[in-house]
Amino acid sequence: MRSLRQLTSSTDGLMMHVPTRGKVLCLVIAALPVLAVPALADITAPTGALTGDLQTIMRGIFFPNANMIFNVQTHDPAAKKPYTGSATGGADFDWVEWGKALYGGWEDIDYAAVALAEVSPLLLTAGRTCQNGNPVPVTDANWVKLSNEMAAAARKVLAASKTRKQDTVSESTNDLNDACQNCHRVYRGRTRCVAGAPPAARP
């Protein structure tokens, strides 16, 4: 079984699982088929009224859908269990659990990947702010680059999910994790949305 390492945010307590890379893992990757990922043009910013700040989008859309995909590393979507709760309208009826059971496990992974790809342009919407009021750096070339990388990683996951192979999707999560972490390292933390100063040049 592949080993896992946990990444836990020190700022909001969010957690996700990502695969540990290593020599053994590299051998597995080499044995996997090469996936055809659809060509992706640079994403562009949508226009329209803003409803939430960046944290709302991250916690409401990116975080749950990314974790659904990361979960494939240890849970086979094909083994999804049917809903066994009370009938619709019953006193103990759970709309959330019932809704989760409406679609097959692999369909859920498809939908999560599509959600991440489709929502990535929202990272570039002018006028959006972070939780602390700082403007999202939508004109920062690096921010635009990282937003495009998120969309590309999500599309790669979708292509992997279409194979309906757990190992194939697990390997594709490396790119998704990199897309998340590459952005977090620069723009997440105490200053939120403000890139840290570059390291001082050595004399």
Residue 200 placed within a domain:
no
| pLDDT-wise least confident of 20-24, 60-64, 186-190 | 20-24
Per-residue pLDDT, 16? 46
Residue 24 placed within a domain:
yes
Give the rounded distance of the alpha carbon of 166 from its chain centre: 17
Residue 163 placed within a domain:
yes
Residue 203 placed within a domain:
no
Residue 65 placed within a domain:
yes
Residue 193 placed within a domain:
no
What is the tens place of the pLDDT at every residue in 42-51? 777 777 668 9
Residue 197 placed within a domain:
no
pLDDT-based confidence at residue 26 (cuts at 50, 70, 90)? very low
What is the tens place of the pLDDT at every residue in 133-161? 999 999 999 999 999 999 999 999 999 99
Residue 138 placed within a domain:
yes
| Domain housing 100 | 4-84+93-187
User: Domain count of the chain?
Assistant: 1
How far, in Å, CA of 128 to CA of 131, rounded?
10
Q: Which residues lie closer than 8 Å to 94 by C-beta, 6 or more apart?
A: 85, 86
Which tokens is 64 given? 């749950």
Whether 138 contacts 126, CB under 8 Å: yes
With 0.85 as the threshold, say if the pTM is over it.
no
**Torsion angle, alpha carbons of 23, 4, 153, 103, to 10:** 130
Query: Which of 127, 125, 126, 144 shows the shortest CA–CA distance to 187?
Result: 144
Give the bridge partners for 6, in sequence order: 17
**Which DSSP category does 129 fall into?**
B
| pLDDT-wise least confident of 37-41, 58-62, 93-97, 177-181 | 37-41
Looking at per-residue pLDDT, the higher value among 98 and 15 belongs to: 98
